[in-house]
Amino acid sequence: MQNITILGSTGSIGVSTLDVIARHHDRYCVYALTANTKVEELALQCAKFRPQVAVVGSAQAAQQLQRLLAEEGVSTEVAYGVEALCAVACAAGCDAVMAAIVGAAGLAPTLAAARAGKKILLANKEALVMSGQLFMDAVAASGAVLMPIDSEHNAIFQCLPLNYQRVPAQCGVAKILLTASGGPFLKRAVETLDAVTPAEAVAHPNWVMGRKISVDSATMMNKGLEVIEAHWLFGAPAAQIDVVIHPQSVIHSMVSYVDGSVLAQMGNPDMRTPIAHALAFPDRILSGVPPIDLAKIGQLQFERPDFDRFPCLKLAYDALRAGGSAPAILNAANEVAVQAFLDGQIGFRMIDRLIARVMDKLPHDTVHDIDAVLEHDRSARAVAHSLMHT
C-alpha cells in the first residue's frame, strides 16, 4: 500500500490522479491533499478520500476548509502555507508525491520531496526547469525516485532502456523526439495572432488543461519548457532534442537510436495513462483510458515547428543553451506574461516579446543554491512587470 501526497489536487492532474487511485483501493491511499484557493473542491475530495492532512494557501482558506470538514464529520488535519506544503511532501507517512502545482510555486515542496528521498511523480516541469542541476543533485543524494508525468516525458521514459542512466551514448540514443500538437493556432495566419483572445488561447484541440498551461501550449512555451525538462531528465543536450508537431496527439514522444530504430509510445490523449504508469511502475494497472483505435484515426501527421509562428519555443532553446539562471528567468517572465495576457493587460504576441526583453535585460549567472534560483525568479518577475508598460 502506497501513501500518496497530491500537491495540487484540485487541478486537472490532481483530479486525474485521484481518479486512478479510486480504481485501486488495494494499492493506494491518500496521505495529503493540497490546493491553493479551491476550498470547496478540496473539501469534497477530503470527504471522499479521507487524507490525514489537507493544505491550503492562506489562514482564511484554512478556516473555511475546517468549517466545511467539520460539517461533514471529516477529521482531516488542516494546515496552510508553503511550510505546510513542504511538510506533507517530506512527511514520514508519505511514500510518493504527485507534484502537480503549476509554476514556480511548486518548486519548494517538490524539492523538499526530492531531499527526503520520496518517489516523485513530476508533473510540475517548472520546478526542474528552474533548479535544473540542483534538483537532480538532490534526487541523486537522497536516492529519490523521479518519475515523469508529462505525457511526452513519460513516453520517452517508456521508450528508453530500463538501465538508462542519463547518458544517451551509452545506450545508443541518437535523438529524443518530443511531439507537440501545435495547439489551437497551428494553421491560423501568423499576422492575425495579435488579435487572439484568452478564450481562444485556452481552447486546446486535444487536451483538457488549466488556463496557464493551455496558453503555454498555444505559444509552444510549454514545449520549450519540456525541452529543458527533457535535458535534465534524460541527460541529452539541446542538439539531441527535437520537437516534432503531431496534431493528432496519438504518439506522445519518440526515441531515435543510432541503428535507425525509432521507438514511439502511443495512446489516447488522457493524462491518466502516464499517471497510472508512474504510480505502478514497473507494473501496469488499469487507468480508465480506452485503447486507441488506429483504424478510426486513419492518418498520423508530422511537421517541423516554425519559429516565426512559435518564437517562445526558440526562446526556450536559447535559455537551455545559455544555462545558469537563464531557464529560471525564462520561466518567471513567461508566468508574468501569460497572467498579464489572461488578465487582458497585454496581447497574445506580447507574451514572447516581453519574455525576450526580460531575457536580454538580465544576466545569465551560474546558480549554486536554491536561494540564488529564487532571487533570479524574483528579479525576472520584477523586470517583466516594469517592462509591461514601457
CATH code (residue 132): 3.40.50.720
What is the structure's pLDDT at 211? 84
Which tens digits make up the pLDDT trace of 350-383?
999 999 999 999 999 888 888 999 999 999 999 9
DSSP state letters, 187-210: SS-GGGGGG--HHHHT--SS----
- Banded model confidence at residue 390, pLDDT cuts 50, 70, 90: confident
The pLDDT of residue 192: 92
Q: Is the pLDDT of residue 187 over 70?
A: yes
| Residue 57 belongs to a domain | yes
Distance in angstroms (rounded) separating the CA atoms of residues 10 and 361: 36
- Residue 359 maps to a domain: yes
CB 213 within 8 A of CB 102: yes
192-250: per-residue pLDDT in tens? Answer: 999 989 888 888 776 667 788 889 999 999 999 999 999 999 999 999 999 999 999 99
Residues 26, 144 share a domain: yes
pLDDT value of position 125:
85
Higher pLDDT, 124 or 353: 353
Dihedral of the CA atoms 334, 335, 336, 341 (nearest 10)?
80
Burial class of residue 178, CB neighbours in 10 A (0-12, 13-18, 19+): buried
Which of 94, 116, 148 is the last residue before a domain boundary? 148
Q: Which phi and psi (to 5°) does residue 241 adopt? A: -120, 110
Residues 374 and 294 in one domain: no
Do residues 207 and 304 both lie within one domain?
yes
Cβ atoms of 312 and 221 closer than 8 Å: yes
Residue 322 is predicted with a pLDDT of: 95
At 335, which CATH number? 1.10.1740.10
Contact partners, residue 224, CB within 8 Å, separation at least 6: 312, 313, 314, 315, 316, 317, 319, 330
Domain identity same for 54 and 66: yes
Domain housing 350: 323-390
Asked if residue 200 and residue 108 are part of one domain, the reply reads no
Residues 285 and 376 in one domain: no
List, for residues 26-35, the tens digit of each pLDDT value: 999 999 999 9
- pLDDT of 44 > 80? The answer is yes
Spatial separation of the C-alpha atoms in residues 104 and 55, rounded to whole Å? 17
Using the 3D structure, point to which of 101, 132, 148 is the last residue of a domain: 148
Residue 318 falls inside a structural domain: no
Angle (CA) 188-190-196 rounded to 5° is 70
